[in-house]
């Protein structure tokens, strides 16, 4: 059998429901679920709660109540079969009397994956409606992290039309307009961690927080090989000061510090940094510059997605948005796939992924 039109409609709704909880569920995936009653009408919907809370299927089943019996659960990710902080969703679906489950993405995890077979063994009809790529929007970061063992990295930059991230005198506020800056705060709210280099901290002294506060804030991380970040930096303020990632031999001490190995150039080993963040249950990282740190991530093929905000302005001089990316000739250029182009106020936002 294949998914029916009303089930595909429910799956699209489940994707939208899951989008609202991005940045709040890690290390669990941001899953969306819609329960249809036996007649095909929506009976309940839900998304993954913060860690320790119910998964999307359980939230939707509670909303549906008895209407779930004999109905269909439509889920963006294959229901889990393991017991962690909560019980297995497969058991909840069987106990609720659901007759059919339609899901989009296969769970790649060794513990949680395989839920479809468990459901079939429990007498539930199961259908994978679409390929993994269809529901990638909210699940993209989690699926990448599950497969690679490191967080999904989005590099965000803002530049003039001629690719400058600041003027020759170092000023950069503001290259892009208010709408683009608001969109960046949306990206921050969807990320588990925001990462900046010490150069950005020294030049701009950013807070690296989401504004207005959505009720949850990403982990702030400053990459600072030698410990130059001043203790008065705004990123080190607040109830959850930024983590400062330094080389293990750096002569500096911070409230929260990651001591990491250095690379061949004497900088913090970026892959070691990502693995250390994964140990802190970080699934998605928003990389916010500057150009040298971004270049190092790109050179090591550690950027999964690029979101660029291009302003209709020309400078002609000043630092480029990216430097040191390791492409010394045109044949070595890091080629990307352009996935989305749209206006944000007077600017243009480009969303790209590596091919």
344, 177 contact by CB (below 8 A): yes
CA distance 222 to 126: 46
List 7, 41, 45, 57, catalytic entry: 57
Q: Which pair of tokens denotes residue 216?
A: 């949850």
Cα distances from 59 to residues 55, 63, 88, in angstroms, run 6, 6, 13
Q: How many residues does the chain have?
A: 355
Residue that the structure tokens 């060794």 belong to? 110
Output the DSSP codes for 182-239: HHHHHHHHH-SEEEEEHHHHHHH------SS--S--PEEEEE-TT----TT-GGG-SS
3-class DSSP state of 265: coil
Strands 125-128 and 152-160: unpaired
Active site residue 7: no
CA distance 189 to 178: 17
325, 309 contact by CB (below 8 A): no
Residues designated catalytic: 57
């Amino acid at each position: 059998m294949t998914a029916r039109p009303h089930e595909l409609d429910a799956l699209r709704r489940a994707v939208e429901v899951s989008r609202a909880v991005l940045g709040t569920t890690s290390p669990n995936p941001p899953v969306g679920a819609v329960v249809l009653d036996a007649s095909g009408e929506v009976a309940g919907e839900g998304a993954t709660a913060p860690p320790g809370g119910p998964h999307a299927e359980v939230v939707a089943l509670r909303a549906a109540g008895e209407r779930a019996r004999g109905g269909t659960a439509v889920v963006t990710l294959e229901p889990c079969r393991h017991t962690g902080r909560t019980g297995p969703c497969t058991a909840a679906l069987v106990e609720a009397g659901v007759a059919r489950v339609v899901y989009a993405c296969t769970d790649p995890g060794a513990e949680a994956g395989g839920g479809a077979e468990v459901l079939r063994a429990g007498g539930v009809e199961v259908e994978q409606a679409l390929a993994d790529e269809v529901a990638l929007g909210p699940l993209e970061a989690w699926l990448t992290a599950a497969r690679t063992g490191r967080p999904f990295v989005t590099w965000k930059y803002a530049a003039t039309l001629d690719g400058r991230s600041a003027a020759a005198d170092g000023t950069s506020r503001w290259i892009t307009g208010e709408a683009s800056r608001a969109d960046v705060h949306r990206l921050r709210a969807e990320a588990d961690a925001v990462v900046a280099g010490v150069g950005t901290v020294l030049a701009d002294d950013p807070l690296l927080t989401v504004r207005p506060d959505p009720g949850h804030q990403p982990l702030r991380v400053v990459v600072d090989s030698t410990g130059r970040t001043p203790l008065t930096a705004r990123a080190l303020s607040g109830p959850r000061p930024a983590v400062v990632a330094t080389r293990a031999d750096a002569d500096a001490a911070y409230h929260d510090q990651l001591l990491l190995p250095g690379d061949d150039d004497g900088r913090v080993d970026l892959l070691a940094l990502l693995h250390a963040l994964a140990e802190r249950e970080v699934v998605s990282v928003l990389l916010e510059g500057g150009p040298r740190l971004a270049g190092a991530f790109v050179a090591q093929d550690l950027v999964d997605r690029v979101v660029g905000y291009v302003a209709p302005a020309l400078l002609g001089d000043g630092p480029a948005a990216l430097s040191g990316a390791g492409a010394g000739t045109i044949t070595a250029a890091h080629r990307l796939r352009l996935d989305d182009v749209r206006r944000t106020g007077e600017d243009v936002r480009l969303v790209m992924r590596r091919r």
